[in-house]
Amino acid sequence: MYLDVFDRNAFGTNCWLIAADGAAGAVVVDPGFEPASVHAMLDSAGKHASGVLLTHAHADHAMQAGAFAGEDLPVWIHPADAVAFRDPDAWANGSGTPLTPVKDLRTFDDGDVLRLGGGIAVEVLHTPGHTPGSCCFRVEGDALIFSGDLVFAGTVGRSDFANSDPAAMRRSLERFMTLPDELDVLPGHGPRTTIARERATNPFLVGTG
């Protein structure tokens, strides 16, 4: 499997790049910054982007998704956060940071399995709380999940933003911790971890699930 990460930004946001062995197309998760640099990483690996997934619509994850995608590449996001592109005032996050418009914005729902190229299939888990449309993406056939800003190594995401929901966040964390221990967790910030490690050591998750 091809797996790489671009995190060169002031927020330390992880933009993940993934493709199956031998596949030319790659799925790109959360290209919030420096679209030219992310494309250059793909070029150097002999890959090209075949689709963009957004875990949520905060600017550090989504601000440059439209610029990265250009005219032809689809960008996928949950409907509850797609509002951030179409009507930022209605989304009511309060960040005041505009997102680059997306030409081909598409939506998914909980339980959908997306086949975006790159030889991989991704199952959508709607995990609201951090934002209304926050999602995780589990890669079928490989023991890994992109957790966005739900779970990090040793901590969890915030639920005190203007449109966050602490109760929904708790339910999402409980759902996350029903996943198998062997899953590698690729978070939106910081180093990768595992379900087992977070179950045993994360003070916000010990005893959950």
Helix (H) or strand (E) holding 129: none
2-201: what fold?
Metallo-beta-lactamase; Chain A (3.60.15)
Q: What is the pLDDT of residue 209?
A: 62
Separation CA 138–CA 63 (nearest Å): 23
Return the SS3 of 31: coil
Q: How many CB atoms lie within 10 A of CB 163?
A: 20
Q: Are the beta carbons of 147 and 136 closer than 8 angstroms?
A: yes
Separation CA 60–CA 112 (nearest Å): 25
Q: pLDDT 10s per residue in the chain (209 long)?
A: 999 999 999 999 999 999 998 999 999 999 999 999 999 999 999 999 999 999 999 999 999 999 999 999 999 999 999 999 998 888 877 666 789 999 999 999 999 999 988 889 999 999 999 999 999 999 988 899 999 999 999 999 999 998 999 999 999 999 999 999 999 999 999 999 999 999 999 999 987 76
Closest CA to 205 of 166, 182, 172: 172
Q: How many CB atoms lie within 10 A of CB 18?
A: 26
The residue extents of the domains of the chain are: 2-201
Q: Are the beta carbons of 185 and 198 closer than 8 angstroms?
A: yes
| The model's pTM | 0.96
The 8 Å CB, 24+ separation contacts for 194-198 are 197/153, 198/151, 198/153, 198/154
Residue type, position 176, single letter: F
Considering Cα of 30, then 39, then 12, then 85, what sign does the dihedral take? negative
Q: What is the pLDDT of residue 55?
A: 98
Q: What is the pLDDT of residue 142?
A: 83
Q: What is the pLDDT of residue 96?
A: 67
